[in-house]
């Protein structure tokens, strides 16, 4: 009798536990192009069996197709069962959801126009980040910048370096990240000019001016970069430092005193090629080439991009490109940023990638063989960007996160040997990341260091460029999964872009001053993304003001929080956002191409 009661009690307990089991289907919330890879992820906090799944028409609730293309992958965090659901073969447009037993995914579209305007959404954030005149606030900030530091003869002198963009949710400005952002946007426009609208003027205010909005943003950045390199051999790497990190405030109300009076000017760091202040430490600067190379590549490509719109300015910066290149060649080494109070800086350690891109870009414009020879020499010194395949890296240690110089050499005209060599280099980096992520439910093999979403964006770009160069589709699913990761097919089921897509789940409480002050969200900003648990726990000043969000979805090794107090995973960054303009504009171009094909 006791055994029977025990058995009944046990059965009831198992039944109760099973009833409490939950499962989720993660999808790309923007949707899927008809001819694209389409893979969702089913995850359950209890052991489950899944043999098939259904695609359901959201307009009438009818099943349109059943699929058996289910792949079980290892358990992930608290999820005891995880499956990849491949429905790539379905190409009909419409609004759908996936169904696995009683569980349903959010509704999503399949269509050719789903990515239209997505790259322009990102430009909202770039305008939001403008320093000088800010169109979001309709007011100007940091109009007294700045005062030179570290120059052998000009220290203490005033220099006009107004403009550019604030780096993230603080108000620092760096050549390192700004130049990369400019180049990425120029590349996006060069490759996909039809993907960008003209709805704002040069000041960033609503109203067309006959110039695509991305070109307005490029010009804004290049104006500032030009001021940061006022003369041959005179380059500046940074405006302000971590004394900025005082409190949340509007940039127009920034009264931090750097020794020149409250709000009356900020330090402008001259590139010395030698270590500079880092509180009780110094940074690890060894040269100037990492910064000079960025100036050179931006000036060279910028002269091409802006020539139809600003011919005189284009001529001016084009003439500076070779000077910057020569300065970098004469001062090899990396140029790091500086801090005063905290240990956090951009610890860029590599520099040959910057000089490779500068050399390759100048060769593309001039056809001068000296640049090609230099590009090959620099490119062979760093065959693969070192984070690709690594378990970890220091903050911005290997930057930019994707070597565009490799692509220019892989795409070179008239030299098949060089092209093949650099295609191999691109493929090796991708393969390294693929091997790290092939057993992940989401095929994400990047190290989850600070700003991991920027690494994801870089790998999307490298995968796409490699695929277009070669026609090799072996990494197509990973490329698609990385895009999906940023748009909701991740453990947390959230997009990583603020306020986007509008009908989806996205960061609503980002680490941003305007948000903390109740002024809304910086729409379009790509947030940092998940970080390793050990990084999150080691950072100073991270506060989960809203408690632990997404607790049941946090994987074992990493965390993400939609929380104002978490600057490690939920702070938008200017360079990451700018770097996403190429993938999104390319997806819009893909949609236009597929629409034409489907009409035939």
Q: What is the pLDDT of residues 383-419, one digit of tens each?
A: 999 999 999 999 999 999 999 999 999 999 989 999 9
- Summarize pLDDT for 520-545 with one digit per residue, the tens: 899 999 999 999 999 999 888 888 88
CA distance 112 to 584: 13
Burial of 6 (0-12, 13-18, 19+ CB in 10 A): exposed
Residue 24 has pLDDT above 50, yes or no: yes
Residue 291 has pLDDT above 60, yes or no: yes
Neighbour count for residue 415 (Cβ, 10 Å): 12
What beta strand segments (E) does 74-124 contain?
A: 81-86, 94-100, 103-104, 108-110
Quick one: pLDDT at residue 8?
36
- 164-177 average pLDDT score: 96
- 141-162 average pLDDT score: 97
What beta strand segments (E) does 45-141 contain?
A: 53-57, 63-67, 70-73, 81-86, 94-100, 103-104, 108-110, 133-134, 139-140
- 486-493 average pLDDT score: 98
Query: Judging by DSSP bridges, how do beta strands 267-270 and 236-239 pair with one another?
Result: antiparallel
- 91-98 average pLDDT score: 98
Least confident window among 1-10, 74-83, 152-161, 413-422: 1-10
Report the chain's mean pLDDT, rounded to a whole number. Answer: 94
Residue 6 has pLDDT above 80, yes or no: no
- 464-482 average pLDDT score: 98
Greater pLDDT, 21 or 346: 346
- 190-197 average pLDDT score: 98
Buried b (16+ CB within 10 A) or exposed e, 288-327: bbbbbbbbbbbbbbbbebbeebbeebbeebbebbbbbbeb
Neighbour count for residue 91 (Cβ, 10 Å): 15
- Summarize pLDDT for 38-61 with one digit per residue, the tens: 999 999 999 999 999 999 999 999
Residue 234 has pLDDT above 80, yes or no: yes
- 233-238 average pLDDT score: 98
Report the interhelical angle of 175-191 vs 289-306 (nearest 10°).
30
Least confident window among 73-77, 278-282, 333-337, 396-400: 278-282
- 462-483 average pLDDT score: 98
CA distance 325 to 296: 5
Residue 20 has pLDDT above 80, yes or no: no
Quick one: pLDDT at residue 190?
98
Cβ atoms 186, 222 nearer than 8 A: no
Least confident window among 272-281, 316-325, 357-366, 474-483: 272-281
Q: Name the one residue in this structure whose structure tokens are 């070109």.
A: 215
Quick one: pLDDT at residue 278?
78
CA distance 399 to 361: 18
- 491-496 average pLDDT score: 98
Quick one: pLDDT at residue 5?
39
CA distance 348 to 282: 14
Quick one: pLDDT at residue 509?
93
Query: DSSP states of 458-494 as a string?
Result: HHHHHHHHHHHHH---TTHHHHHHHHHHHBT-STT--
CA distance 467 to 262: 52
Report the interhelical angle of 311-330 vs 289-306 (nearest 10°).
160
The answer for residues whose C-beta is within 8 angstroms of residue 291's C-beta and 6 or more apart is 175, 176, 179, 235, 237, 271, 328, 335, 354
The answer for residues whose C-beta is within 8 angstroms of residue 426's C-beta and 6 or more apart is 406, 407, 410, 462, 465, 466, 469
The rounded percent of the chain whose pLDDT value lies above 90 is 88
Residue 35 has pLDDT above 60, yes or no: yes
CATH number for the region 24-110 comes to: 2.60.40.10
């Amino acid at each position: 009798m006791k055994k029977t009661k025990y058995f009944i009690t046990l059965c009831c307990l198992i039944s109760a536990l099973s009833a409490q089991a939950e499962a989720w289907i993660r999808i790309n919330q923007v949707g899927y192009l008809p001819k694209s890879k389409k893979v969702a992820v089913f995850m359950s906090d209890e052991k489950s069996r899944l043999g098939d799944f259904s695609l359901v028409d959201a307009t009438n609730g009818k099943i349109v197709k059943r699929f058996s293309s289910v792949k079980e992958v290892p358990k992930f965090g608290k999820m005891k069962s995880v499956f990849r659901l491949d429905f790539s073969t379905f190409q009909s447009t419409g609004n759908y959801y996936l169904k696995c037993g009683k569980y349903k995914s959010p509704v999503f579209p399949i269509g050719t126009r789903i990515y239209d305007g997505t790259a322009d959404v990102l430009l909202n954030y770039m305008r939001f980040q403008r320093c000088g005149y800010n169109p979001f606030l309709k007011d100007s900030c940091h109009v007294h910048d700045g005062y030179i530091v570290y120059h052998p003869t000009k220290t203490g002198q005033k220099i006009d370096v107004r403009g550019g963009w604030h780096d993230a949710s603080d108000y620092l400005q760096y050549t390192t990240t700004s130049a990369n952002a400019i180049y990425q946007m120029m590349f996006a426009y060069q490759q996909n000019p039809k993907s960008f609208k003209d709805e704002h003027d040069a000041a960033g205010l609503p109203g067309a001016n006959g110039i695509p909005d991305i070109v307005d943003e490029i010009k804004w950045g290049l104006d500032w970069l030009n001021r940061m390199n006022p003369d041959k051999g005179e380059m500046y790497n940074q405006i302000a430092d971590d004394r900025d990190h005082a409190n949340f405030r509007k940039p127009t109300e920034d009264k931090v005193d750097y020794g020149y009076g409250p709000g009356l000017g900020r330090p402008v760091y001259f590139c010395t090629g030698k270590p500079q202040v880092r509180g009780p430490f110094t940074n690890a600067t060894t040269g100037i080439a990492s910064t000079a190379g960025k100036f050179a590549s931006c000036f060279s490509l910028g002269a091409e991009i802006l020539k139809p719109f600003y011919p005189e300015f284009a001529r001016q910066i084009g003439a500076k490109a070779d000077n910057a290149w020569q300065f970098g060649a004469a001062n090899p080494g990396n140029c790091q940023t500086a801090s005063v109070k905290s240990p956090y800086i951009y610890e860029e350690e590599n520099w040959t990638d910057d000089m490779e891109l500068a050399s390759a870009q100048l060769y593309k414009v001039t056809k001068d063989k000296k640049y090609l020879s230099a590009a090959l020499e620099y490119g062979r010194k760093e065959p693969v960007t070192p984070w690709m395949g690594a378990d970890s890296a220091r903050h911005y240690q290997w930057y930019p996160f994707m070597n565009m110089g490799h692509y220019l050499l892989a795409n070179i005209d008239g030299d098949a040997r060089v092209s093949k060599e650099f295609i191999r280099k691109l493929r090796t980096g991708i393969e390294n990341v693929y091997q790290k992520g092939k057993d992940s439910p989401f095929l994400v093999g990047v190290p989850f260091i600070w700003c991991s979403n920027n690494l994801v964006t870089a790998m999307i770009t490298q995968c796409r460029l490699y695929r277009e160069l070669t026609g090799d589709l072996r990494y197509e699913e990973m490329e698609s999964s990385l895009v999906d990761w940023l748009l909701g097919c991740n453990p947390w089921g959230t997009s990583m872009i603020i306020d986007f897509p509008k009908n989806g789940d996205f960061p609503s409480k980002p680490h941003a001053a305007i948000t903390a002050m109740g002024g809304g969200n910086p729409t379009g900003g790509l947030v940092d993304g998940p970080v390793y648990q050990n990084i999150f726990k080691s950072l100073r000043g991270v506060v989960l003001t809203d408690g632990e969000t997404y607790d049941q979805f946090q994987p074992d090794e990493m965390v993400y929080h939609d929380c104002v107090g978490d600057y490690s995973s939920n702070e938008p960054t200017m360079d990451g956002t700018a770097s996403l303009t190429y993938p999104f504009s390319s997806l819009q171009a893909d949609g236009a191409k597929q629409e034409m094909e489907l009409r035939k």
